[in-house]
Amino acid sequence: MTIMFNTVNRSDVPQVNPDDLALPMQHLVATGRGLAMLRGLSEPELREVDHAMWRALDIEPAQRVAVLLRFRCLIKVFGARRVADLLLHRGYNLIAHAVQVAAGMRLNGDYGFNPVKFERALRERLAAVDGARSNRTDAPAPLAA
């Protein structure tokens, strides 16, 4: 008999599906804690989100742990002044982009996201999205026949 252990290497947390990582954020908004990115979450609040997400996420246990680790580190990185300032300047639409970055960025679960690298990746993503948006709106109108 072979026993399989689903473990997560905290020194290199696996990437997760951005939709799965968005669920804890949606839970915070639904429970009236949408400002968590700016004010942070207490340990009891984090545990409550962990319990709610453990039931809501229909994925392998190791992936659930990866999502929850990434979520905790995402909340923590917004404690950095430069990332919080970016949120204040760009508004809450930034959170969806931050979730995309956090889902795929290299993460050491013990140290969290590097705030400088996270901000840089987030600004690059925003620039790409803004550039794509301006290309669509800057296109000349078709000529009338």
When mean pLDDT is compared across 4-8, 18-22, 65-69, 131-135, the lowest value belongs to: 4-8
Residue 109: per-residue pLDDT = 82
Q: Calculate the dihedral angle through the C-alpha atoms of 35, 39, 43, 45, rounding to the nearest 10 degrees.
A: -20
DSSP letter assigned to residue 108? B
What percent of the chain lies above the pLDDT cut of 90?
58
Residue 8: per-residue pLDDT = 64
Cβ atoms of 34 and 92 within 8 Å: the answer is yes
pLDDT tens string 67-114: 999 999 999 999 999 999 999 999 888 999 999 999 999 998 889 999
Residue 143: per-residue pLDDT = 46
pLDDT tens string 19-53: 999 999 899 888 888 788 888 889 999 999 999 99
CA distance 95 to 90: 9
Residue 48: per-residue pLDDT = 92
pLDDT tens string 7-25: 666 667 999 999 999 999 8
Give just the sign of the alpha carbon dihedral 40, 120, 110, 80: negative
Residue type, 124: E
pTM flag (> 0.85): no
Q: What is the CA radius of gyration of the chain?
A: 18
CA distance 5 to 1: 13
